[in-house]
Structures are given as structure tokens and as C-alpha cells.
């Protein structure tokens, strides 16, 4: 075997990431140099992302920041630390042709003279500045029931309305149609344009290209967008407190153009059809809702793809593309309007999330990207204890913490400049770096959970499912995933769009293949309104694999009757409301490893926070290939042996002696951190004479 001894393990393949805040204080007396020296000297972090805070603006203050960034980057590189630039949104060059709007709807009744006055006021935004308000469209119809009208009665009357606006936030609409239209129903849409771009236009491409070009002389190793999203709509807490559900819809010139190119229908017509259907034609409304969200979901990804391509063009193909765009971390809240819940589709080498989003989401996002590591950005409030716990727990599943943040001086936030916190984090990350040497795969997962994206975004005609953000509040996808994970089921969650795009498929071997990862079972939550490709996949998968279905299908994505297709699926698939006991009775397996996980290649990882921080050993017992290995460790141990009982993968913090089936197997002269990777042994020890011994 090849053996090396080192006092400290150098940076490995997967970066260890820290967020560094820059504000006006950072520039005073070149404080940024003190900060980067502290990070390089006292931590394990080898990729530092810069982000602006306070009044500092990476756009407006670019002339002052350029030399500072250069100085920090050059120093960091001398110490084998990489740096990345996080880009914020910039609205300074916005025009009406590139701005986004919210459409506010109102149902009115004309008086006996066919007259009505209405003031449409902006709503649904989260304190966004309104550029202007105007009449978008008005329709007259014979209403037969909520959301239904008598065929032949619909007439657009926008050109017959008068409107004016005295301020940016509202528009006054007057309708005078005469007594022949007395008591008729009028549906009015007002448009409220905001100081926020329509992501389907080229506004952000121009904006981000400009700033990347400007900073291109700085040797950045990474570029990222953090929580990049569309217009800030109402926060879920605001909706709850105000008791006013979000019922507005996003509209913009680029969005309208892209929608029409996709479906050969105007977005204006779609917006109307989302609310009204002719009597006896519910499929028209079903199809409109499905199509609207199907196109809207692409807006954030369009810009993310551009930034990734542009960053690699400027800084090289190995540029690290970060960060996450999980925002409020739920599928059923305002997130759908902000990011489209397209977390699985970011152009990244590494999956990225934040704030301890549920593990099945992280596992699904990990499987969606090339690298087996997924980063979860996390910050602490008054104490860093939860960060420590999270880092150790996450490491079992190939998840790493993107630490948030150094120089975080905001109220009620913990600043990672704290020396004790950095010391503790370094103890943990020193062990995690050992795992990076082994370049371990993802956890072993037999179950893939798929949620129907159309079912998530469409509640019609079941009004009781309509939630505060105008989507289906009855699927409880992430809650069900949490139940599975907490019950010991290591699984991954992905959307049904992955079937439609061909990423999730039945491969030539007949296996359920998601992006190269093989699963034995599928749980499909919410199949209603699935696309035809999705229904065919479910049918094909159910013929040779266990497919569990939570929900039914009555109509497909286009609103067409799909009951016969679902009956065919039901012949093989197990259809049942979500129930853990029922799932376990029918073959879904639990993770049997306490405080650890089994990986795809047979490696077992266990971890323990108390031993990592105190550096006092605790016991482990790992069974691999029918051999049981026991010993003491600090923080983290990963172990795999081959069929003859020889360890071929090991990362053991605080290693001293390991027993195999109760007999001494391997030991060190003095305690150390030990890595075995095939024929290579790395001893991390201050004792340069330390040796490893194997039993004969």
C-alpha cells in the first residue's frame, strides 16, 4: 500500500463553502484583508462567496470594489482558497417593455342602466414599487354558476371602457353599455406594472452580462445567483395575517410572447380561460391553468442558464456555479410564483438548497446533478449549535453545509466571525474533508417519490383544494416525504416534469432510471392532469416494478377524459391514499443503520456530534459484506470492506484500533485521523513517525 503522513489534509474535490458578507465597514481600512486572512488561517473553507449587504451595491459601487476584489482574490489564491461572486438583481435600467405586471381581477354587476364604476388597486405584491396601472381587459357574459358562463354570451368590451389613472398604484374604470346590458356580469382585469423585470425578456441577460464583464479581470472561481426569482409577491405570512389570499397572476410582454410561441394561443386568452369556462366544457379551464403554469415555470431557469453559460465563458469551464433558488422552501406556498419550484433544474454541477429543506427534496436535487454532493445553505440565529448538529447529520447523506455567514452583523443573526464557532466548525469540517477524499456516492435509495406538477398547480374544479396561493393545497407532498424520511425511508423526490423531459424513464434494461440512478419502487403523489407521457411512463413502470399511487386520474393535462387510461394503470399499480403502514406492509424498506446511512457502493457512514466537538472518542459498529467492524472514532466514520473482509474504504476521525468480528484488525501507534482509499493510506497526524499495522 502507498502510505503518506500529513499534519493537515489539503483541499479535496468537493469545496467547503462559506458566505462572506461585504458592507461599507468591509472597505474601511481594508477590513476585507483582515477577514480573508482570518478565513485562510483559521478555517477549512476553500471557497468563499462574496455577497453585498447593507448599503453596499456590487453594481453601483463597482469602481471601489474592483481593486478590493482583486486584492482579496489574489491573497486567497496564494493560500489555495477560491472565491466566488454572488450577483444580486439590478432594476436600474428597467423599461415598460421589460417590466412585469400583476393582473388584478374583479367580478362586477352592471346596474339597471348598464353602468358601473370600478377602481382597480394594485395588490398581491410584497412592497414592490408600482410603475403604472392600467386597464388590461374587460368582458361581459351571462354567468350560470361561479366560474361558468352560457356559451355564446361572452363578449370582450375592453374597447368600450373608459379608464384613467391618477397615481401609479390604481386605475379608474368606467363601463357604460346602456339598459340592454342591465344586471349583466362583467369581469375586469387591471394591470399593475412593477419595478421588476419580466424574466422572459432579455433584461437580465443584458444586466448580468454587463456586471460579469466588468468584474472579469478579477480571477473569480465561481459565480452565483442566490434565491433568484421573479417579482416579489405577498409573503405567505402576510397572506395569513391579512386573511386575503393571493389571486393575482403574473403577466409580461416576454411571458406573453413565449406562451404564444409554445401553445399558439394568446396569454390574454389563457388568463381569461383560467377563471371562466363555458357550461359543459370544464376541460377548457383545466387546460388553461395547466398551460399557464407549464410556461411560467421556465422564467427563472431561462436566466439561470444564461448566467451559468456566461460565467463559464468569462472564467472558464471549471467555474463553480452557485447558489440555491429554494426561497420559501415549500411547494404549496408563494414559492411557486417566485421560482416556479424548479429546484431540480438549476444549471449546476452540484445540487444546492437552503434552510434545512426536507431531505427527500435534497436527495432528488442531488440525483438531478452530476456531483454526488448537495449543498444546503444555512444560517444560525443566536447560537451556532444547530449548524454543528446539521453539519454532522447532513454528512451521512452526502449533504454539505454552505455556511451563512461570515461578517453577518444583522440583528438576531449569529456572525461566523466568532472564534469559538469557527473552531468548532473547523473540527467538524476537518472530518468531512476526509469523506471528500473517498469521493463517496449518494445514499442507497430504493424508493423514488414523484409528484404530479399539474396536480400541484391546478385545483379546479375542486374549490375546497384551492389554497391561499391559488394552487392545490391538498397534495401535502413535502409533508408526506417528511413522514417517510422520519420513519426511516431514505428516498428522493422529483417532479413529474422529469418524466415529460425524458430524464426519468424506463431504460433499455427495463429499470426505473432517473438521471443514471436506478430505483426499485415509485410512489406517485397527485397523478391528476398528468401529461400523456407521464401516464404512459406510470403504466410501463407498473408492469415490472412496484408503483404506489396516491390519488387518481380523471383528466389529463389537456383536460381530456383519462379514466380508461387510469383503469389500465390500476391493474398493476397499487392505488391507495398515503398511509405509512400500508406502504410498509407492501414492501417499502427502512434504513436500519442508527446514526448513519448506507451508500450506493455499500459504504456505511456514521456520525456523532459530541465526539467531534469534544474530540473524545465514541464507539461504532459497522457491518459490511457480512463482516462486523467495531472501534472508537471522533465525529465521522465511513467504512466499506470487500468480500474477503479487507477494508477498501475508510475515513475514521480519531482512529486508534478497529476490530473485525471481535478480533484486532488494524491499529495505529498513536491516535490519528485515518483514510484508506483502495491501495492508498493517508495518516493525518502530528506524529511523523506514526505507523499503521494490520493483523496477519
Q: Whole-angstrom Cα distance, residue 586 to residue 574?
A: 9
Q: Tell me, rounded to whole angstroms, the distance of Cα 205 from its chain centroid.
A: 22
Q: What is the DSSP string of 438-495?
A: HT--PBP--EEEEE-HHHHH--TT-GGGB-TTSSB-S--HHHHHHHHHHTT--EEEEE
Q: What is the mean pLDDT of residues 233-249?
A: 90
CA-based diameter of the chain, in Å? 104
Confidence at residue 592, expressed as pLDDT on a 0 to 100 scale: 85
8 A C-beta contact, residue 43 and residue 426: yes
Sorting pLDDT into bands at 50, 70 and 90, what band is 315?
very high
**Which residues on adjacent β-strands are paired with residue 134?**
191
Sorting pLDDT into bands at 50, 70 and 90, what band is 28?
very high
pLDDT over 90 at 594, yes or no: no
Q: What is the mean pLDDT of residues 327-347?
A: 96
pLDDT over 90 at 412, yes or no: no
Q: Give, in degrees to the nearest 5, the angle at Cα 219 between 217 and 222.
A: 120
Q: Whole-angstrom Cα distance, residue 284 to residue 251?
A: 20
Sequence-separated (6 or more) residues with CB below 8 Å from residue 135: 120, 158, 161, 163, 171, 173, 188, 189, 190, 191
Q: What is the mean pLDDT of residues 12-29?
A: 96
Segment (H or E) for 515: none
Secondary structure (3-state) at 606: strand
Segment (H or E) for 397: none
Q: Give whole-number Cα distances, 233 to 94, 203, 239, 678, in Å.
A: 18, 20, 10, 53
* pLDDT, tens digit, 9 for 90 and up, residues 165-213: 999 999 999 999 999 999 999 999 999 999 999 999 999 999 999 999 9
Neighbours of 652 (CB within 10 A): 28
Burial bucket for residue 159 (CB in 10 Å: 0-12, 13-18, 19+): exposed
8 A C-beta contact, residue 154 and residue 185: no
Confidence at residue 118, expressed as pLDDT on a 0 to 100 scale: 98
Q: Whole-angstrom Cα distance, residue 359 to residue 474?
A: 21
* pLDDT, tens digit, 9 for 90 and up, residues 253-305: 999 999 999 999 999 999 999 999 999 999 999 999 999 999 999 999 999 99
Sorting pLDDT into bands at 50, 70 and 90, what band is 448?
very high
Query: Closest by alpha carbon to 293, among 533, 487, 459, 463?
Result: 459
Residue-level length of the chain:
696
Q: Whole-angstrom Cα distance, residue 348 to residue 690?
A: 41
Q: Positive or negative, the Cα torsion across 436, 438, 439, 443? A: negative
Sorting pLDDT into bands at 50, 70 and 90, what band is 696?
confident
Sorting pLDDT into bands at 50, 70 and 90, what band is 387?
very high
Sequence-separated (6 or more) residues with CB below 8 Å from residue 313: none
Q: Positive or negative, the Cα torsion across 144, 149, 151, 156? A: positive
Range from 245-249, 378-382, 512-516 carrying the lowest mean pLDDT = 378-382
Sequence-separated (6 or more) residues with CB below 8 Å from residue 318: none
Q: What is the mean pLDDT of residues 299-328?
A: 97
Confidence at residue 242, expressed as pLDDT on a 0 to 100 scale: 83
8 A C-beta contact, residue 529 and residue 556: yes
Q: Whole-angstrom Cα distance, residue 638 to residue 676?
A: 10
pLDDT over 80 at 394, yes or no: yes
8 A C-beta contact, residue 676 and residue 435: no
8 A C-beta contact, residue 635 and residue 607: yes
Q: Whole-angstrom Cα distance, residue 455 to residue 457?
A: 6
Query: Closest by alpha carbon to 224, among 235, 215, 232, 237?
Result: 215
* pLDDT, tens digit, 9 for 90 and up, residues 129-175: 999 999 999 999 999 999 999 999 999 999 999 999 999 999 999 99
Confidence at residue 102, expressed as pLDDT on a 0 to 100 scale: 98
Strands, sheet with 185-197, edge to edge from the N-terminal-most edge strand: 155-156, 130-141, 185-197, 99-109, 249-251
pLDDT over 90 at 577, yes or no: yes
8 A C-beta contact, residue 178 and residue 163: no
Terminal-residue alpha carbon distance, the chain = 15
> What does residue 524 show for φ and ψ, rounded to 5 degrees?
-105, 115
Sorting pLDDT into bands at 50, 70 and 90, what band is 238?
confident
Which three cell numbers mark 485?
424520511
Q: What is the pTM of this model?
A: 0.96
What is the pairing mode between strands 647-660 and 627-633?
antiparallel
Q: Whole-angstrom Cα distance, residue 318 to residue 188?
A: 51
Segment (H or E) for 526: none
Q: Whole-angstrom Cα distance, residue 516 to residue 514?
A: 5
Amino acid at each position: 500500500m502507498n502510505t503518506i503522513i500529513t499534519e493537515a489534509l489539503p483541499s479535496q474535490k468537493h469545496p467547503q463553502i462559506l458566505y462572506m458578507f461585504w458592507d461599507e465597514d468591509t472597505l474601511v481600512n481594508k477590513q476585507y484583508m483582515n477577514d480573508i486572512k482570518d478565513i485562510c488561517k483559521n478555517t477549512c473553507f476553500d471557497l468563499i462567496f462574496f455577497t453585498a449587504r447593507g448599503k453596499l451595491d456590487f453594481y453601483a459601487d463597482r469602481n471601489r470594489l474592483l481593486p478590493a476584489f482583486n486584492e482579496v482574490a489574489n491573497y486567497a489564491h496564494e493560500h489555495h482558497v477560491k472565491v466566488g461572486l454572488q450577483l444580486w438583481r439590478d432594476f436600474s435600467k428597467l423599461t415598460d417593455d421589460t417590466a412585469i405586471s400583476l393582473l388584478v381581477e374583479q367580478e362586477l354587476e352592471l346596474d339597471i342602466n348598464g353602468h358601473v364604476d370600478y377602481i382597480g388597486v394594485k395588490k398581491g405584491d410584497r412592497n414592490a414599487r408600482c410603475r403604472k396601472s392600467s386597464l388590461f381587459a374587460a368582458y361581459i357574459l351571462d354567468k350560470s354558476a361561479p366560474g361558468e358562463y352560457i356559451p355564446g354570451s361572452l363578449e370582450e368590451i375592453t374597447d368600450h371602457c373608459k379608464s384613467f389613472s391618477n397615481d401609479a398604484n390604481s386605475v379608474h374604470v368606467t363601463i357604460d353599455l346602456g339598459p340592454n346590458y342591465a344586471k349583466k356580469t362583467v369581469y375586469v382585469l387591471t394591470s399593475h406594472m412593477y419595478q421588476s423585470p419580466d424574466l422572459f425578456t432579455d433584461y437580465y441577460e443584458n444586466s448580468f452580462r454587463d456586471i460579469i464583464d466588468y468584474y472579469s479581470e478579477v480571477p473569480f472561481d465561481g459565480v452565483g445567483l442566490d434565491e433568484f426569482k421573479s417579482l416579489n409577491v405577498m409573503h405567505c405570512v402576510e397572506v395569513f395575517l391579512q386573511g386575503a389570499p393571493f389571486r393575482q397572476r403574473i403577466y409580461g410582454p416576454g411571458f406573453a410572447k413565449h406562451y404564444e410561441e409554445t401553445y399558439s394561443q394568446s396569454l390574454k386568452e389563457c388568463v381569461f380561460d383560467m377563471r371562466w369556462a363555458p357550461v359543459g366544457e370544464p376541460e377548457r379551464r383545466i387546460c388553461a391553468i395547466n398551460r399557464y403554469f407549464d410556461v411560467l415555470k421556465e422564467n427563472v431557469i431561462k436566466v439561470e442558464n444564461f448566467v451559468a453559460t456566461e460565467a463559464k465563458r468569462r472564467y472558464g469551464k471549471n467555474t463553480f456555479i452557485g447558489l440555491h433558488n429554494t426561497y420559501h422552501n415549500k411547494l404549496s406556498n408563494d414559492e411557486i410564483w417566485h421560482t416556479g419550484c424548479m429546484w431540480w433544474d438549476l444549471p449546476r454541477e452540484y445540487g444546492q438548497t437552503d434552510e434545512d429543506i426536507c431531505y427527500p427534496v435534497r436527495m432528488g436535487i442531488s440525483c438531478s446533478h452530476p456531483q454526488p454532493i448537495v449543498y444546503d445553505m444555512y444560517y444560525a440565529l443566536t447560537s451556532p449549535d444547530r449548524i454543528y448538529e446539521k453539519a454532522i447529520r447532513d454528512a451521512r447523506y452526502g449533504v454539505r453545509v454552505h455556511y451563512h455567514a461570515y461578517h453577518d452583523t444583522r440583528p438576531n443573526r449569529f456572525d461566523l466571525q466568532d472564534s469559538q464557532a469557527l473552531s468548532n466548525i473547523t473540527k467538524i469540517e476537518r472530518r468531512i474533508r476526509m469523506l471528500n477524499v473517498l469521493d463517496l456516492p449518494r445514499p442507497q435509495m430504493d424508493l423514488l417519490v414523484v409528484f404530479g406538477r399539474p396536480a400541484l398547480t391546478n385545483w379546479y374544479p375542486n374549490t375546497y383544494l384551492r389554497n391561499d396561493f391559488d394552487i392545490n393545497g391538498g397534495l401535502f407532498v413535502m409533508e408526506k416525504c417528511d413522514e417517510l424520511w422520519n420513519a426511516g425511508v431514505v428516498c428522493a423526490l422529483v417532479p413529474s416534469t422529469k418524466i415529460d423531459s425524458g430524464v426519468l424513464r424506463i431504460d433499455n434494461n427495463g429499470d426505473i432510471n432517473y438521471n443514471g440512478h436506478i430505483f426499485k419502487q415509485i410512489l406517485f403523489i397527485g397523478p391528476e392532469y398528468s401529461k400523456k407521457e407521464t401516464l404512459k411512463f406510470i403504466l410501463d413502470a407498473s408492469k415490472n416494478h412496484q408503483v404506489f399511487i396516491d390519488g387518481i386520474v380523471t383528466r389529463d393535462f389537456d383536460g381530456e377524459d383519462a379514466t380508461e387510461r387510469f383503469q389500465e394503470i390500476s391493474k398493476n399499480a397499487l392505488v391507495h391514499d398515503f398511509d405509512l403502514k400500508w406502504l410498509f406492509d407492501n414492501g417499502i424498506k427502512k434504513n436500519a443503520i442508527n446514526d448513519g446511512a448506507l451508500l450506493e457502493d455499500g459504504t456505511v457512514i456514521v456520525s456523532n456530534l459530541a465526539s467531534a466537538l469534544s474530540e473524545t472518542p465514541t464507539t461504532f459498529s459497522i457491518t459490511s459484506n457480512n463482516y462486523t467492524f467495531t472501534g472508537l472514532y471522533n465525529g465521522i466514520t465511513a467504512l466499506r470492506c470487500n468480500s474477503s473482509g479487507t477494508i477498501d474504504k475508510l475515513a475514521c476521525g480519531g482512529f486508534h484500533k478497529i476490530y473485525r468480528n471481535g478480533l484486532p484488525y488494524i491499529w495505529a501507534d498513536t491516535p490519528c485521523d485515518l483514510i484508506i482509499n483502495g491501495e492508498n493510506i493517508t495518516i493525518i497526524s502530528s506524529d511523523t513517525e506514526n505507523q499503521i499495522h494490520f493483523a496477519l
